[in-house]
Structure 1
């Protein structure tokens, strides 16, 4: 193995050699970036987020506008895509929908979890019309029953909280690497219309973690949130 050759050449210790070999095995076991063939349809830089999402063990998501991508129905994602790219060919739109569907395979992976906090506005914004929203809210209610998915809604009329100032964001936590025990520190992803922001410094991450705590404080519990989601889904379907 080339690592052993380099280790011999540089005279590194046995402990350092074991770390390097462990890292090499872990890198070799990582699944290829399946989204690369779709890169022409992704927003600039979003492939970086996709890589982080694929490596994370837990996502803490706060959304003030749209449903998180991992929980979107194809119809909802298609409606968003047509809004963003009204002049695009149908083939382009369908590739975006295919990416969204493939992303959601993460929900079935062992060791992965997502905690979702939604402003009530997310449920009431009629993306794609009533039929699309009825299906989307049905999907949310169904997803919230998974053991690795938590969904809570911050209702209209909730007390003031930091989520209103922070805007939508995702806090990503990563697992320890099995061979080395090394662990990537958490990262906060802030999605912007003209560009994305990645925050890694501990004080920055702490501010967003504190914001999550404050948002949860005013959110409905998962059961009450599900009842609200189902109630609105019924309204859309009627």
Structure 2
């Protein structure tokens, strides 16, 4: 997929590991292959950097990774995947991800998330205040956008709605599994007013009935103690194997008012997996969730 960051992430993570193991700085690595330390950092973060095969090999030599069994061949295979992907995207005329046409409509930190969401095969999200973007109707998205920027122009609003609609196309992909754990309070909030929320809840009911790859379970207000009260909102993204058959580790994304966090350490992933298990313990079943949403629609009287 154009714009996929998976091989680049895997390559960058391994190069960072070998650099740290060899006790070399980003500055030293950059000087060795005539790149800035910032470029080394971007590459290690899985971002696009102009670099050639000989420079990759020179870095491996500099990090004293000479034995194929130590991972040298693995790094070179990943680098070949990065090149093959870039070549295929160039031939297709899609060297950027589709979402990058909307960079003026989202915060810079969210670009990386959209790239990960576009290639994830399993997304699990726990939300305590707002509905995740994959579920939002145009009316709900519009209301939330105006909360953040009341002076937003009509043209910019249309582009934000286009972006949201494009993201939601992935829900039609049977290979994309989505598990949503939603605080009941999310549906009790009414951005845009009761009529917007009724339309939104009816949309949720339609998705429940028509998208077998989507699971929605509500955590009721009287659920008692569970880890979701501490961990708050987050999204766990999991990915398919790379062409080299390596398994790309999951990422936990945590969004805040001033930016986002991307958590990749194994202990952090494990803690969020435990939180998911504990939240699932107190969440309503899928059938009971559907009944509660239907009841809330009736209670609205709209």
Q: Tell me, which stretches of 5 or more residues in structure 1 are unaligned?
A: none
Confirm or deny that 1:136 pairs with 2:200: yes
Q: Which of 61, 81, 97 is matched with 1:33 structurally?
A: 97
Structure-to-structure mapping, 1:35-74, within 5 angstroms: 35-74=99-138
Q: 1:24 to 1:222 in 2, by over 3 A?
A: same
Encode CA deviations 1:127-153: one digit per residue, 9 max, x unaligned. Answer: 111111011111111212311000000
Confirm or deny that 1:87 pairs with 2:151: yes
Task: Tell me how far apart the structure 2 counterparts of residues 18 and 194 of structure 1 sit (CA, whole Å).
Answer: 37
Secondary structure of 1:35 counterpart: helix
The residue aligned with 1:150 is 215
Aligned partners of 1:79 and 1:128 also within 8 Å: yes
Q: Report the TM-score, using the length of structure 2 for normalisation.
A: 0.71
RMSD across aligned C-alpha pairs, in angstroms?
2.5
The Cα of 1:117 is off from its aligned counterpart by 0.2
The Cα of 1:88 is off from its aligned counterpart by 1.7
Q: Report the TM-score, using the length of structure 1 for normalisation.
A: 0.89
Secondary structure of 2:246 counterpart: coil
Aligned partners of 1:134 and 1:237 also within 8 Å: no
Encode CA deviations 1:137-191: one digit per residue, 9 max, x unaligned. Answer: 11111212311000000011112111011110001111112x3112210110001
Q: How many pairs are equivalent? A: 234
Confirm or deny that 1:210 pairs with 2:274: yes
Task: Tell me how far apart the structure 2 counterparts of residues 219 and 196 of structure 1 sit (CA, whole Å).
Answer: 26
The Cα of 1:27 is off from its aligned counterpart by 5.0
Task: Tell me how far apart the structure 1 counterparts of residues 163 and 183 of structure 2 sit (CA, whole Å).
Answer: 25
Q: Tell me, which stretches of 5 or more residues in structure 2 are unaligned?
A: 1-52, 59-65
Q: Which has the higher contact order (CA 8 A, sep 6+)?
A: 1
The Cα of 1:21 is off from its aligned counterpart by 4.1
